[in-house]
Structure 1
Amino acid sequence: MKKKKSKYSVKKIVQLGILNLITVCACAQNNTQDFNFDWNFKLENSSQSNWKNVNLPHDWSVGFSFDSIKGEGATGYLLGGIGWYKKDFKVKPSKNETTYILFDGVYNNSTLWLNDKKLGEHPYGYSPFFYDLSAYLNNNSNQIKVKVDHSRYVDSRWYTGSGIYRNVKLVTKNNLHIPIWGTYITTPQVSLQESKVHLEVKVKNNFDKDETFDIITTILDGKGQKVAEQSTKGKVSSKKETKFNIDTTVKNPKLWDVVSPSMYTAQFKIVQNGKTVDENQTKFGIRTIKFDANTGFYLNGQNMKIKGVCLHHDAGLVGAAVPEGVWRRRFEKLKEAGVNAIRISHNPGSDEFISLCDEMGIMVQDEFFDEWDNPKDKRKNMKEQSVDAITRGYGEHFQEWAERDLKNTMLAHRNHPSIIQWSIGNEIEWTYERNAKATGFFDNMDWSGNYFWSLPPNSIETIKENLRSLPREKYDIGETAKKLAKWTKEMDTTRYVIANCILPSSSYESGYADALDMIGYSYRRVVYDYGHKNYPKLPIMGTENVAQWHEWKAIMERPFISGTYLWTGIDYLGEANKQWPKKGIDSGILDYAGFEKPSYHMMKSLWNDAPELYIATQRLEKSIYKINEQTGEPVEKKKNGWETALWVWHDVNEHWEYQSGDKTIVEIYSNCDEVELFLNDKSLGKKRLIDFDDRIYKWAVPFQAGKLTARGTKSGKTISSERVTPTEAYRVQLTTDKTSLSADGYDVAHIVAQVVDKDNNPVKTVNPTITFSIDGNVKILGVDNGAVDNVQDFQSNTITTSKGRCLLIVQSKKGAKVDATVQIEKVVLENNKINFTEKTNFTSKIKLTSKN
């Protein structure tokens, strides 16, 4: 959609319905060099006085030990500091070339020098940025130096990481070139017959004279076949940059969607006198999106619910420097659960992250800021209570940097087909006292009760009157929201501007909602009907909700709610103040190691049409259920408690290991219409899903060792699942998600160690300490057991298991042939005795080789 030619305003376009888009993904620019390898790093004012060799991305904080004394739960008890990076490199600069260095993200407060010449500073840790190095390059030997000041290590409410934690590229171009982020592609019309493609291409001329040229634009399909080509004459004055508009058509386009994320490639060539002087290849996808205030969300004209999760940017043991393969494994698991969207909370994600969403068919909400004009309290999760040097965050820079950071992010990200929403803010309302007080809610907020389940205590008229009469502050939330939305729409009008509103009743009246194309509710499903009735023109969805059946039930019952983003898809570090040794939030449906949790299987049963069935168990005394004396059936101890369940799933086990005669409750999460439970092949009865309002099948079962089997039927299909009582722990079994790695210095393998019995049944109640050994050319990234209270060092080869299992991640080395063996060096129980039957052969070995 070409903004300047549209006959409708942006608001009118949103009301009419459909937004058409063809989008660009990460550019493969001419002479783009991977600049991640062979850096040197040291920490200032630490025992590490010498430079050590590192490769990027690099997060130094995740290499620390968890510190309950100096550390803060807000950022996961891992410290920050001041780090220095330097890289020596050789180039032969030409007066006819321009050289840039592009950082996808540095956390944070970075300063860059080239050959001791300071080039600039960049405070925000999540927005991409670049520098033109051309004027300061030496012939041959050069040195880049970067200072990263994360001494304010509690400047966020969650774990941020520290350092150059995203990719870096060195880009060398002809002086006549398409600059970084210089392309923007949309489609004013999309159908299965043809798509109108509009390309905006910037050309920069760093020569001392005007330049004329041709722009040759070629579009290739996923098989590399040419589907369109266009030639455009161009001229750019000396030291200027000009934007060129190019229009073409793709016949019978294959649309990008969540099932088949078809992609195309646009090739741009700048040609002078028959010679290509600059070239740019850009992947893209064609699709349409629409949010309707009455009927919800449409992708390519198909009405569907957004089944989304919120994700922070850390990934367990690797911290914030996440290899693409780690995200891939996690995304694959989320997609298996039915997830079709991710909200990157609460700051922009990496280009690599979003590119992977493009490839895998996952829609994205890209969020800009967690703080605006006023700071949040990093320890108490709301309005700042006191001034503290180490907690000073982005609010310190917002006035000066917000526009640049927002627009840089959009220039880098706006062409990804996966992005469907721009979020300008997260739970901002409570930082503006007038706005918060107007609701009548804020001062009486109870996080365990009334906020989630009560309607706004003040009427709309009372809220309006309060906003009129309460003293005005230095900054106004409505004015700031409109400013942010204006900047967003200056860059892109093909997505919806949204925000995650924690107090929507006041946001509707403060001017905040007026700046939005649609509104997101944070844990406020109880006001879905209120919002739709009183503000019927603005589309609504849940942008932060708990992973419970009641949340999804409320959405399924309301066509006008477009969907949800659950808090969260994966456990994350931080927001754990005064909860040591709990280092983070465990509300995810996957844990820190990417292992599936019971809530994962509940959501999988809700979000998939194919039959799903999962068995969980618990001792009666620890269960949330009791036995009804009249019927003998399990019932909730707290009647209808499932309707108000919050972040963390109730305590259940993934095993069938108890004492003989123990009273247990067996829970089954399933979308099957009917399930029959068996214990040692004896039927314990059939039950129907329709009889369980909470969608949890339940049986009271006296424990007997053996095999617990559930068999379910749905639409004529039968599936089964079982839990087996293991015998004595016998060995540690290793499994891996891959046995061959690319020798590129990036590729990773996830190796899971699980205690098993002689028959390879998992033993979940024995937790030895395991030491891994590796012989060969791979690097240990670290270990984890997935538990929220695990505060063992991540960067180690030794770990005490949880549920009898743990995760080791290894990474290839650049240019080194992968020929490695991973095995267990030692297995020790708490009494420091090895009591497994096989005392000399604890595990099968994992052999890793190079990819062909």
Structure 2
Amino acid sequence: MKYLRLSFLLAFIVFNNFAFSQNNASRTELSFDENWSFKQEDVAGAEKPDYADASWRKLNVPHDWSIEGEYDKLNTTGRGGGYLPSGIGWYRKIFTLAEEQKSKKISIEFDGVLSNSEVWINGKSLGKRPYGYSGFTYDLTPYLNFGKGKTNVIAVKADNSIQPASRYYAGAGIYRHVRLVTTNPVHFNHWGVFVSTKDADAQKANMSVEMNVENETSTLSVVELQISMVSPAGKTVKIFTPAKQNLSPKGKLKFTQLLAIDQPELWDVEHPNLYKAITKIIVNGKEIDQKTTEFGIREAKFEAATGFWLNGKNIKIKGVCLHHDAGSLGAAVPLSAWERRFKLLKEAGVNAIRVGHNPASPEFMSLCDKMGFMVMNETFDTWTASKNNGENGYNLYFKDWWEKDTRDLALRDRNHPSVIIYSVGNEIRDNLDSPEGFKKYKEQQDLIHSIIPNMPVTMALFRPSASKVYTNGFAQTMDVVGQNYRESELVNFHEANPTLKVIGTENGHTQAGWLILRDKPYMAGQFLWTGFNYLGEADWPEVTNNQGLFDVSGRWRTEGLQRQSWWSNKPVVHMVRRDDNAGKGDWVANWTPSDFDTYDVANVQVYSNCEEVELFLNGKSQGTKPKPANDSPRNWELTFEKGTIKAVGRNGGKEVSVEEFITASEPTKIILEVEKTSISNNWDDVVYVTAKVVDKDGNICPNATSLINFSVSENAEIVAVENGFNASHEKFKDTKRFAYKGSCNAIIRAKASKGEITITANSQDLTQGTTKITIK
């Protein structure tokens, strides 16, 4: 869903006040993101309407205040939270409503507040929500003021002061979108429309549309429901008008319509076709509510002997795990940042994402639909037993909240064709060798089945031999048996129990693990830990976990280069060398040693899926090597020479892929690179600008660590800076950053609706770099 920006809808905005009136539209969903007042401390009385907040910081949400803070080894978030600040933050927003709104139902929807939130309207507490990853809604109607000169005040308290609360970076504040939703008293429920595929092939899809309608009036309503099915091209392919229904006073109705679509355009990872169902409620000939639900038509199933099938095609799930942060952006991640990351994952050959280990944002899930990623949706990192570095996390709330949080996630995400499986826990420490452990799992699995029939459920089992789940019957209760790491154990378990379905829920970057996925037909897939480096779960002085295919800035890591040679369908050639002499040091992708005086023996590896690779040094062949049967890299040991090293990949004797590195000389200038040349004035749209330190010939200087100062014209802002260095303690909310491996990024957002943004990068003794971006 694209949210309308208030600036286009309102006649005026003055500080944090806004007013709106509405015509007789059946449903209106307005962004409620702009013009909040914020205070990063506990404030007595801040929930009261008359509290004076004029001195508070003015900002828009989504907002993560923790990412703006200073790194400190003594911060109570500790290792898990990346040593960034925790505490209490308050948000307040003042708005007015027109008199004609009195007959409407008005609700507020939060996509997530971290964490332990409480929301007030005009001093009335609407409720609390401990789990920061759950979306929730509150009915404001009984407590609102309407009419000229009458104001309303929303107040939100977010409290993550009890630490350590997470094994990985969580963030703090209203870090996801907020909406104000207005409907008539007879309306579709929140998450009340469910479109599902019963069966489908290229000729016909049998579908079901479930509609949940509520009557909040005191009179009987005779409702007519209408369903319009719209194709991916935007053409209405069918309209269904079921028989009229009586909806009793203060009553609810669940109505299910079965229907068929001929020659459907199926959703899959290569063709992520998306339909829309436009559902309407009509009373006395007048439309009183309308919802648009995006969905895909597909058939997905797991088989014990052959793994995973999508639309009748047997495919391997080549997945990665992702946390919800995006490095320097923290937990408040613009959609275009995820789109940038997803494009890189696609390039690496990834076709699936496990959201680890908590619900992602709604727009994240929709982007998976649109870009063709299969998803393992996941609910919790803990049940009742705590984990190290997160002792005060969800384990404190699971008993009272698991059912509500699980139900809400399943209802929210049940229309996403990308979701092919649910996980109800990651490496759970609760005793699974007990009736209580069995009960906890089954209750969660049964709840998801009741909301999304035929949706398989798993969990990421932890050390199965120690927990006895392979011998006590626990694994046999799972729809699909999932296990973290120890791939050979899962192989042995399946081969002893060949009727059970299996999947790797979390896997390392090992060659052995890849070969199990490649060669074992029953292994449905695997999810690498991780797709991108992430904040937290690191030992000081490091503050970022370093297990991704990419670092937090989007730079390819060695693991990503190798994985692309295993997973990509296109010809791939990548060279890396040992950074230190004679096979010592880390693998790096360049031909510029950090110490020319001591570097003479270069160990070179080439990752490639090509039939043969030939290596050249300054134009002289170093030999040709065939593709090993076990997909291992090809190795050369060379006497280092300055100049050019080149790897050429061939299939059938034809050159299909080439990579070349040139030894860099002294740094002389900065060049700026952008991945897109235009941007819109929208919170969810940002541009990553990469500053590269290069020599006189434009070759990147991978050992340069220059301090880069960024500046932008007045019609833009620098949202954050980053360089991908895991032990950097520089602030992300800044305009300067040291280069790492010769480069760093600035993330830019527009502040105007048109014009041209100028971005400049300066550093001492280097010629500055400049580029321009157009505002749409």
User: When the two structures are superposed, what TM-score results if normalisation uses the length of structure 2?
Assistant: 0.92
Q: Deviations over 1:553-590 (max 9, x none)?
A: 111121010110000000011112xx211002100001
Letter in 2 for 1:193: Q
Contact 2:326 2:333 (C-alpha < 8 Å) held by counterparts: yes
Aligned-residue identity in percent: 38
1:130 aligned partner: 137
Match of 2:409 in 1: 409
Compare 149-158 and 94-103 and name the one that shifted more: 94-103
Structure 2 contact 695–701 (Cα < 8 Å) conserved: yes
Is the 1:424–1:485 Cα contact (8 Å) retained in structure 2?
Answer: yes
Q: Show the 5 A alignment for 1:412-491.
A: 412-428=412-428, 430-432=429-431, 435=432, 476-491=436-451
Of stretches 518-527 and 528-537 in structure 1, the one that deviates more from structure 2 is 528-537
Contact 1:620 1:665 in 2 (8 A): no
Q: Is the 8 A contact 1:291 1:297 kept in 2?
A: yes
Which of 650, 664, 676 does residue 726 from structure 1 map onto?
664
Q: Given residue 411 of structure 1, which amino acid in structure 2 is its aligned partner? A: L
Q: Distance in 2 between matches of 1:620 and 1:734?
A: 29
Partner of 2:603: 665
Any idea what the Cα deviations from partners look like across 1:701-731, whole Å, max 9, x if unmatched?
1111100011111245412111101122110
CA distance in 2, matches of 1:427, 1:113: 36
- Does residue 498 (structure 1) correspond to residue 461 (structure 2)? The answer is no
The corresponding residue for 1:17 is: none
Once the two structures are superposed, the pairs formed by residues 221-232 of structure 1 within 5 Å of their partners are 221-232=231-242
Question: What is the number of equivalent residue pairs in this alignment?
Answer: 734
* Structure 1 match to 2:775: 850
Aligned counterpart in structure 1 of residue 756 of structure 2, from 786, 799, 819: 819
Q: CA deviation at 1:146?
A: 0.4
Aligned to 1:65: 70
Partner of 1:108, secondary structure, is: coil
Aligned to 2:586: 651
Confirm whether residue 767 of structure 1 aligns to residue 705 of structure 2. yes
Residue matched to 1:461:
none
Corresponding residue of 2:19: none
Contact 2:377-2:419 at 8 Å conserved across structures: yes
Match of 2:683 in 1: 745
CA distance in 1, matches of 2:232, 2:271: 12
Residue type of the partner of 2:503? M
Answer yes or no: is the 8 Å Cα contact 2:42–2:89 preserved in 1.
no
Measured in 2, the distance between the counterparts of 1:343 and 1:768 equals 37
Determine if contact 1:35/1:170 at 8 Å carries over to the other structure: yes
Look up the equivalent residue of 1:842 and give its one-letter code. Q
Asked if 1:575 is matched to 2:537, the reply is yes
Deviation at 1:392, TM superposition (A): 1.3
Give unpaired runs (5+ residues) of structure 2.
5-25, 44-52
State the 1:373 CA deviation.
2.2
Deviation at 1:511, TM superposition (A): 4.8
Moved more, 714-723 or 482-491: 714-723
- 1:25-62 Cα offsets, whole Å, 9 max, x none, are 8999920001111111111159x994111111111100
Cα separation, 2, equivalents of 1:679 and 1:694: 24
Matches of residues 86-165 of structure 1 in structure 2 within 5 Å? 86-92=92-98, 94-140=101-147, 141-165=151-175
Distance 1:622 1:124, change over 3 A: farther
Distance, in Å, in 1 between the alignment partners of 2:635 and 2:683 is: 49
| Equivalent residues of 1:479, 1:512 under 8 A apart | no
Determine the structure 1 residue equivalent to 2:554.
594
**Cα distance in structure 1, aligned partners of 2:328 and 2:548:** 16
Give the structure 1 partner of residue 251 of structure 2.
240
- Structure 2: distance between partners of 1:206 and 1:277: 13
For residues 665-690 of structure 1, give each alpha carbon's deviation from its aligned partner in whole angstroms, at most 9, with x where no partner exists.
Answer: 11111111111111110111111222
Q: Is the 8 A contact 1:776 1:819 kept in 2?
A: no
Q: Deviations over 1:511-547 (max 9, x none)?
A: 5324320011101201133211222222011110012
2:33/2:62 contact within 8 Å kept: yes
Note the aligned Cα RMSD (angstroms).
1.9
What is the TM-score when the length of structure 1 is the normalising length? Answer: 0.84
Give SS of 1:745's match: coil
* Matched-pair contact (CA < 8 Å) for 1:227–1:251: no
SS of the aligned residue for 2:409 comes to: helix
Does residue 1:196 correspond to 2:206, yes or no?
yes
Report the more deviating stretch, 535-544 or 503-512: 503-512
Kept in 2, the 8 Å contact 1:569–1:589? The answer is yes
Do the aligned residues in 1 keep the contact of 2:681 with 2:749 (CA within 8 Å)? Answer: no
Give, in whole Å, the separation in 2 of the partners of 1:272 and 1:211. Answer: 7
Matches within 5 A, 1:290-301: 290-301=301-312
- DSSP 3-state at the match of 2:114: coil
The answer to whether the Cα contact below 8 Å between 2:541 and 2:727 also exists between their aligned partners in 1 is yes
Q: Which amino acid aligns with 1:848?
A: I
1:791 to 729, 744, 751: 729
Show the counterpart of 1:33.
30
Q: Does 1:220 align with 2:146?
A: no
- Residue 7 of structure 2 corresponds to none
CA distance in 2, matches of 1:715, 1:363: 33
| Deviation for aligned residue 1:240 | 1.5
| CA distance in 2: counterparts of 1:511 and 1:147, whole angstroms | 44
Secondary structure of the residue aligned to 1:652 is strand
Q: Is the 8 A contact 2:582 2:600 kept in 1?
A: no
Where 1:287 maps in the other structure, the secondary structure is: coil
Higher relative CO (Cα under 8 Å, sequence separation at least 6) belongs to 1
Q: Distance in 1 between matches of 2:473 and 2:407?
A: 22
Q: Work out whether 1:710 is the aligned partner of 2:720.
A: no
Q: Distance in 2 between the 1:127 and 1:326 partners? A: 21
SS at 2:445's partner residue? helix
Rounded to whole Å, the distance in 2 between the matches of 1:321 and 1:498 is 29
How far apart are residue 777 of structure 1 and its match? 1.3
Question: Residue 40 of structure 2 aligns to which amino acid in structure 1?
Answer: L
Equivalent position of 1:627 in the other structure:
none
Q: What CA distance in whole angstroms lies between the structure 2 residues aligned with 1:158 and 1:510?
A: 31
Shift of the 26–819 alpha-carbon distance from structure 1 to 2, 3 Å rule, reads closer
8 A contact 1:771–1:799 mirrored in 2: yes
- What is aligned with 1:835? 765
Alignment of 1:584-623 (within 5 A): 584-619=544-579, 621=581, 623=583
1:754 corresponding residue in structure 2: 692
User: Cα 1:420–1:816, aligned 2, differ >3 Å: closer, same or farther?
Assistant: same
Partner of 2:184: 174
Runs of 5+ unmatched residues, structure 1: 1-24, 380-390, 436-466, 625-649, 828-833
